Each structure stands twice: as structure tokens, then as C-alpha cells.
Amino acid sequence: MYKTLKINISIFAISISFILSQDNSSFYNLEAIDLSGNIVKMNKYKGKKILIVNVASKCGYTPQYKGLQILHENYNKELAILGFPSNNFLWQEPGSNEEIKSFCKVNYGVTFDMFEKTNVKGRKQHPIYQWLSSSKLNGWNDKSPSWNFCKYLIDNNGNLIEYFDMSIEPNDTLITKYFN
């Protein structure tokens, strides 16, 4: 009787853990809200590589917007760049979503996908950044962004394949080698 109970409890625990893991186990199950207030499902980007970057308008790395835009223009058929404005590092993204949209367009001509201001670390960390920074979800990486303009590269199948810190410029060969 105990053996049967033990087996049933084990099967139940495995089933529950499988069900719970389904929500965030795949990058393509996630979604975010863009700067215009629209819900964007990440499965929209299936078949493309994805570069996710936490951005800010009042940071020493803000000029990387230019490199991100060039990367977008050069590789947009095979690469989606997703910008996530964040105010998590010394309040370097104080603007509203509308101000962020205007700043990016006027100063850098940004046409790649930008999302609403997002928490990329801490208690209120967005589910996309939970996935990016949890090896239990993405398979290997536990690094949350350490500053603005950290970059995560996802392959055509939704697998996280690389993490780049803020010092790596968007057009560095460490990144562009994936698109040549």
C-alpha cells in the first residue's frame, strides 16, 4: 500500500512540475507590451535570431542605440532586435513610454521593436528577463543584466545561445559572427 501511494505521489509530483514548467519553459510562450501598448507574443519571432537588450536614454552606453539600429538595418531578415527600456540602474530611464519612443526615433531613428519600460532585475523582474537569467528556464545562463545595454542572443529555435555585457558594442564581431 505504501509503495503504491509513494508511486502515485511521485507521478503526481512529476505531473505538477511538468504543468508548471510549461508556462515559461519556452521563450516563445512569453509576451511583452510594446511602447504603443500592444501585447506582443514572442512566438512572432519564430525562425529568426533575437537580440534582446535592456536600454536606457541617460546612460553612457546610450549611443549603442545607433549600433543596434545599424544591426537591425543590416540583418533584419534574419534578426529581430528587441529593446526593453529599464530604469533599474541609477534611474537612467526616467521617461514615460511616449517620451522613450520619441527619444529613440528623434535621436537614433530606431525602427526595431521597442517595449514598455520594464524591470530587468529584482522582485518585479519581467517574465522575459526571468527566463533570460534563470538556467532552470533557459538551460544555462543565470546572469541578470548588470547594467544597461546587456544583450542576450536567442537562436532561430528559441534557445538562448549567448550573453554579452554592456561593453560589447552591437556591431562587434562577437555578435555579428552569428549573422554572416
Mean pLDDT of 31-46: 97
Give the chain's domains with CATH numbers: 2-176 (3.40.30.10)
Q: What grid cell was written down for 176? A: 555579428
- What is the H or E stretch that residue 5 is in? helix 2-24
- What is the H or E stretch that residue 64 is in? helix 64-75
Q: What grid cell was written down for 131? A: 527566463
Instruction: Show which residues are catalytic.
Output: 59
User: What is the model's pLDDT at position 25?
Assistant: 79
User: What is the model's pLDDT at position 24?
Assistant: 64
User: What is the model's pLDDT at position 64?
Assistant: 98
pTM of the model: 0.86
The length of the chain is: 180
State the CB neighbour count (10 A cutoff) for residue 145: 25
Check whether 50 has a pLDDT greater than 70. Answer: yes
User: What is the model's pLDDT at position 22?
Assistant: 44
Question: What strands, in cross-sheet order, belong to the sheet with 49-55?
Answer: 113-114, 79-85, 49-55, 151-154, 160-164
